Amino acid sequence: MAAAAQDGGNLANVHHILLVLSGKGGVGKSTIATQIALALRLAGKKVGILDVDLCGPSIPRMLNAMNKEVHQCDGGWVPVYVDQEKTISLMSIGFLLEKPDDAVVWRGPKKNAMINQFVNDVAWGELDFLIVDTPPGTSDEHISTVNALQPYNPMGAVLVTTPQAVAVGDVRRELTFCKKVGLPVVGIVENMSGFVCPTCSECTNIFSKGGGEELARHSGVPFLGCVPLDPQLTLSMEYGKDFLREFPQSPAYPALTSIARFILDKASESS
């Protein structure tokens, strides 16, 4: 277990903490973080999502929770539950903005203070997994997030890339960041790996292919799989629908559920 080993605090009953990182924006990191959470829920797990992408909080939209409000309890902030069964809970700065289009124009110290408040002051209750969606890059926010979570022994990070050499190069720097801060790497996901035709379901490589897998091999970390571009997945994220429940026939479905199975196996090894 991860945070469950601690004596107290709001993460005391969170069993496994997983960060989702990317070296650059636009690679679908928040999409992968959301789908990992949904796939773990599909496997019967209770999941929380902590969205620390302060300047681009997109997960409330992806989970159709944009109009929800955060409330206070004796333990701090109560996360927003995105389903009636309360199997997925979410905390994001998107819930704290007066207007959805308000920009977060903060200097580093204020961002770092908010991240520490998110880590320490959200009353998650008991969770099997807490998925932490981070902003792109290797900036102050990443250091603050890792430092705040280190006492709870996170299981590690999933790194998201696209096949192109530019994106893979940025993820290589993300691997260096993880090594410097002592954060284990669970594995690499190659997102947007081919395009699935909505008519014939044929997958075409509109970008290059295999960059993420090659990087994983050279770096000695697990390769978790290729997730193709699927218009059904894109629309699901736009309208806050549960892609895995609504489109189990999609070619992206086995890729995403395979990533979740790997994470489950990894978590069971550390328990």
* Numbered residues of the known binding site for [4Fe-4S] cluster: 197, 200
Instruction: Please give the Cα distance from 212 to 171 (Å, whole number).
Output: 9
Residue 100's nearest CA partner among 49, 72, 58 is 58
Sign of the dihedral defined by the CA atoms of residues 45, 181, 106, 75, in that order: positive
Q: Specify whether the CB–CB gap between 120 and 50 falls below 8 A.
A: no
Cα dihedral sign, 133-139-140-144: positive
Place of tokens 């809970």: 89
Binding-site residue ranges for ATP: 23-30
Q: Give the orientation angle of helix 252-270 with respect to helix 29-42, to 10 degrees.
A: 70
Residue positions forming the annotated binding site: 23-30, 197, 200
Distance (Å) of CA 53 to CA 20, 25, 139, 141:
11, 11, 12, 9
Two tokens, residue 29: 């990191």
CA dihedral of residues 211, 216, 222, 223 (deg, nearest 10): 0
48: number of CA atoms within 13 Å, CB side? 25
The beta strands (E) that lie in 120-259 are given as 127-133, 156-161, 185-196, 203-204, 223-229
